[in-house]
């Protein structure tokens, strides 16, 4: 059985209103009733039994979920590699509870400039994210920046590199999907992103950007293997398959799958199959791991 990634949308609530996010202003998600803690704990156990080894906690804003430490403790006991992505607004308040429970703590920074970041997020929160990173470093909690690039923010790659160097953290770069700003990202721009791959602070997966350059998933010959490489849970505790965006449809073959480059599903998919994406994924992980060790 292939190793899986458990993608856990722990809450759809959010204290940001990001311009590229589909969740915070979606009425359907606002009406979702969150499951009791016990259901989430059972899901964590079930995911581990189903060979999930990595747990991605996302949202909404996960730190709004009050029982989060209990879920992380359970995941720790099951020896998951735990990644948590936050906007950082509540980190100062909750840092002690989270101590030692997360392997990679990603702080979302949309722009390396306060005004632009705050505009993109619809709320003043740049300073909280930066202070959160500093505090997490002091507490040895392996913080990193997560930079979700759009066609607009891509021009700030050099400044983001400078910011990461000054904070002494890595920047994990992914592309924003399902946002009008990403449509038509041209090959030269993608090559510009790839140029930063060799920079010591920049964590880029070449397979992700090569896939984007080659127009993403082909619904006739799907590259997506989300059904066998990921397990997705929602805040109501229900499992959806093959993915968050295609609930109950055929993996890689529905209309929503046309040109899909959703990295949270595609990167696990690249660990299977034999083609250039698997090789690029392997090489990127190898080099990025070496960079991690050089911190």
Query: Which residues would be at the binding site for ligand SF4 (CB under 6 A)?
Result: 217, 224, 226, 242-243, 245-246, 251-252, 254, 256-257, 260, 262, 265
Q: How far is the CB of 231 from ligand SF4 (least distance, A)?
A: 13
Q: Which is nearer to ligand SF4, 146 or 223 (CB)?
A: 223
Three-state DSSP at 250 gives coil
Q: Which is nearer to ligand SF4, 171 or 243 (CB)?
A: 243
Three-state DSSP at 8 gives strand
Q: How far is the CB of 220 from ligand SF4 (least distance, A)?
A: 12
- Long-range contacts (CB closer than 8 Å, 24 or more residues apart) made by 163-167: 163/109, 163/112, 164/201, 164/202, 165/201, 167/130, 167/133, 167/134, 167/137
Q: Are strands 239-240 and 230-233 parallel, antiparallel or unpaired?
A: antiparallel
Q: How far is the CB of 107 from ligand SF4 (least distance, A)?
A: 25
Q: How far is the CB of 222 from ligand SF4 (least distance, A)?
A: 6
Q: How far is the CB of 293 from ligand SF4 (least distance, A)?
A: 31
8 Å CB contact between 100 and 51 = no
Per-residue three-class SS string for 58-119: ECCCHHHCCCHHHHHHHHHHCCCEEEEEECCCCHHHHHHHHCCCCCEEEEECCCCCHHHHHH
Q: Which is nearer to ligand SF4, 74 or 253 (CB)?
A: 253
- Return the DSSP state at 33: P
Q: How far is the CB of 259 from ligand SF4 (least distance, A)?
A: 9
Q: Which is nearer to ligand SF4, 114 or 214 (CB)?
A: 214
Helix axes 126-138, 91-98, angle to 10 degrees: 30
Q: Which is nearer to ligand SF4, 105 or 251 (CB)?
A: 251
Q: How far is the CB of 58 from ligand SF4 (least distance, A)?
A: 14
8 Å CB contact between 235 and 40 = no
Q: How far is the CB of 238 from ligand SF4 (least distance, A)?
A: 16
Q: Which is nearer to ligand SF4, 171 or 261 (CB)?
A: 261
Sign of CA pseudo-dihedral 157, 162, 164, 165: positive
Q: Which is nearer to ligand SF4, 156 or 211 (CB)?
A: 211
- Tell me the two tokens of residue 172: 């994990």
8 Å CB contact between 238 and 245 = no
User: Scanning the structure block, which residue is given the tokens 């590699």?
Assistant: 81
Q: Which is nearer to ligand SF4, 117 or 223 (CB)?
A: 223
């Amino acid at each position: 059985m292939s190793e899986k990634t458990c993608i856990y949308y722990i809450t759809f609530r959010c204290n940001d209103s990001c311009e590229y996010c589909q969740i915070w202003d979606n009425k359907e998600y606002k009406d979702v009733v969150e499951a009791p803690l016990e259901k989430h704990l059972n899901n964590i156990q079930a995911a581990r039994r189903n060979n999930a080894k990595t747990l991605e906690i996302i949202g909404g804003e996960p730190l709004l979920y009050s029982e989060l430490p209990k879920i992380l403790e359970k995941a720790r006991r099951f020896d998951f590699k735990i990644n948590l992505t936050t906007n950082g607004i509540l980190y100062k308040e909750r840092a002690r509870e989270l101590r030692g429970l997360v392997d990679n703590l990603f702080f979302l920074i949309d722009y390396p400039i306060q005004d632009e970041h705050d505009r993109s997020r619809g709320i003043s929160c740049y300073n909280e994210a930066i202070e959160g990173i500093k505090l997490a470093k002091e507490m040895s909690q392996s913080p990193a920046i997560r930079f979700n690039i759009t066609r607009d923010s891509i021009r700030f790659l050099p400044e983001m590199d400078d910011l990461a160097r000054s904070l002494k953290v890595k920047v994990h770069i992914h592309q924003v999907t399902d946002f009008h700003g990403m449509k038509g990202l041209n090959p030269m721009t993608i090559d510009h992103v790839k140029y930063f791959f060799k920079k010591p602070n920049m964590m880029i997966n070449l397979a992700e950007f090569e896939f984007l350059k080659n127009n993403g998933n082909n619904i006739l010959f799907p590259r997506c293997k989300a059904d066998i490489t990921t397990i997705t849970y929602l805040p109501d505790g229900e499992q959806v398959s093959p993915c968050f965006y295609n609930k109950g449809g055929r993996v890689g073959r529905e209309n929503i799958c046309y040109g899909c480059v959703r990295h949270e599903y595609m990167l696990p998919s690249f660990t299977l199959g034999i083609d250039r994406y698997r090789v690029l994924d392997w090489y990127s992980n190898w080099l990025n791991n070496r960079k991690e060790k050089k911190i």
